[in-house]
Structures are given as C-alpha cells and as structure tokens.
Amino acid sequence: MTASPALKATVSTPSDREIRMERVFNAPRERVWKAITTPDLVTQWWGRGNKLVIEKMDVQRGGHWRFVEHSPQGVHGFEGRYREVTPPERIVQTFEWDGMPGHVIIETMTLEDLGDGRTRLVTLSLFHTTEERDGMLHSGMEGGAQESYAALDRVLADLAKR
Amino acid sequence: MTASPALKATVSTPSDREIRMERVFNAPRERVWKAITTPDLVTQWWGRGNKLVIEKMDVQRGGHWRFVEHSPQGVHGFEGRYREVTPPERIVQTFEWDGMPGHVIIETMTLEDLGDGRTRLVTLSLFHTTEERDGMLHSGMEGGAQESYAALDRVLADLAKR
C-alpha cells in the first residue's frame, strides 16, 4: 500500500503549553495498542531505524519506562512514568530526555477506533512552560515523529500477516 | 533558643500554578546546604520524625532521588530527578508522590545568605495545572513543611555543636 496524505501526522498547538499530534493508522485499535505497549515491537519503530534498548517498560499505573536510542549522532536516553494505562484507549505518561533532565512533559495518547479498521492516534503533550514547548517544536520533533510513525506502519503491516 | 515568629514558614501563591514557601534558618548557608544534600542528615528531618529510607539520592544534574517514608498511616514513596545543582545556592528538582504517579512538580530551592549567619530557604513549586496546585495546597502540605523545617532546625543546631 502506498502512503496516502491521510497518513501524515498533523501537528497543532491548542494552547501555549501544548502540542497536539494526530495520525491515522491502517490497523484496528487492538493492534495499534499492542504495537505501542509491547517492548519487542516498540524496539522496531520507536527509534526510527536506530538501535533502541528498552531498559524499563512496566506498562501500568506508577510503572517506569526508560529507552536508550543509539544513533550515529550519539546515545540518547529517554524516560518517564505511567500515570494512567487504560487498554486499548488511553495512556498518560511523563516523558523526559536525559539531555534536559527534570524538564517533564505529560503525554496523553488516545487511540480512537474509526470503525472502518483504522485507528486515529492523538498525542497531546503538556509542558510546564511555553519556552519548553517551543524548544520541542524547534527540535525537529515533527520530522522524527513522521519517521517513527512510518516505521510503526510497517510493524502494523507485519502484525497483520501473522 | 525559642522558636520566633520569623522561624515560621510563609506560604504564598505567586501565580495560579505555583506555591512559594519561605523560611529563615539560624544557620549559615553552607550548613543548610549540607543538611539538605547529605542523605544521613536528610533522614533526620525530611520525614518529620517518621522513619525515612533513602533508596536513591544522587545529588547532581540528571541524578535521581527516591525517599520512602514509613508513617503510622502507611508507607509513602516520593521520587524525582535533579535538574540543576549549584552549591550552595540552588537546587532545581522534580517531585512526585507514588500516590499520584506522573503528576510532576518542579521545585526550585534557593538558599539566600542573609549575611548575619542566617539563611533564607525559598522553595518555589511549579505545577502543570492549577488543579494539581490546589490539591497540594489542600493536602496539609503547609503543616507538614512546618514540621520538617522544625526538625531541620534541630539538625542544624546539632551540626553547630560538632
């Protein structure tokens, strides 16, 4: 299947401390949920082709996660904690990058069943300050997310074949 | 020495997502810094008389901390990460309670040398939302802080004798 314009993520800023990303996937909600909550699957898409080491991924309220991405530009750690895990609909988690320790983003991921075998993933990121939000917007996050989502498309297509 | 009114913490709300606490200690700044950054001393005051187990306390940028308080009402874990550590002036750290995982507060602690052998400790807490800020205000945090600071007074007095 060729990627259609509908499969491009849409980025917006609903308030001065938020970023909203929306992306439709050609897969039912349970499959998308599996791909974003199963460590062996996350390693296949989250790092956009880079090696990803999952040091912790305890997907439950209060559990911690920590991913280390090994890219040609260096090693980058990311970590956070799950605030809410409601399969297959919603995950609320904190997110921080080792390069800016203690700058914490609240990510709310909502999986919407579109009723036609597709799923809309909406990620709302809330920052403590507008400066932190703007820093993320200018970090190349949109391009990185598009690459991750394209890799997630491939994981979802593989899962469909099993 | 009898506690004077000046030794009571003052609590204010500089914005709708912040709480500011201010407290003067009868000790020079280096001594206050030592009492708040040395695990064996923190166990003597942070828990207000309750047993405190320090599981992690890596006081440097990017380091993590985790304290577990054993009170008659139960066991409560608290944790976070250091964003900035500038001895003996400033610590910026995240703070969350296990009971509300993923609700993260940014605490900026500033130690001001008052020039007369006393130190003013100002703690500014920034929340992601006003609701979280108000929840903290109504949790009895002010009484708890007054008790912690009174215990810290005793630790500082003990250190002066060494």
Summarize pLDDT for B71-96 with one digit per residue, the tens. 998 999 999 999 999 999 999 999 99
Which of B15, B18, B81, B109 to substitute to test the interface with A, most A CBs within 10 Å? Answer: B81
User: Tens of pLDDT along B45-67?
Assistant: 999 889 999 999 999 999 999 99
Q: What is the pLDDT of residue A109?
A: 98
CB B107 within 8 A of CB B125: yes
Say what the alpha-carbon torsion angle B103, A66, A139, A51 is, to the nearest 10 degrees.
Answer: -160
Q: What is the pLDDT of residue B7?
A: 77
* Cα separation, A9 vs A24, whole angstroms: 8
Q: What is the pLDDT of residue A1?
A: 45
Write b or e for each residue in A102-125: b if 16 or more Cβ atoms lie within 10 A of its Cβ, otherwise e.
Answer: bbbbbbbbebeeeeeebbebebbb
Those residues of chain A that have pLDDT short of 70 are 1-6
* Cα separation, A20 vs A22, whole angstroms: 7
Nearest 5°: the CA angle A137, A138, A141 is 60
Interchain pair A102, B81: CB under 8 A: yes
Residue A88: cis peptide before it, omega within 30 degrees of 0: yes
- Decide if B106 touches A, using CB distance below 8 A: yes
User: How close A154 comes to chain B (CA, Å)?
Assistant: 31
pLDDT category at B3 given cuts 50, 70, 90 is very low
- Decide if B51 touches A, using CB distance below 8 A: no
- Chain B residues in contact with A92 (beta carbon < 8 A): 102
* pLDDT higher than threshold 80 for residue B4: no
Nearest 5°: the CA angle A43, A44, A45 is 100
Residue B39: cis peptide before it, omega within 30 degrees of 0: no
Interchain pair B101, A83: CB under 8 A: yes
pLDDT category at B140 given cuts 50, 70, 90 is confident
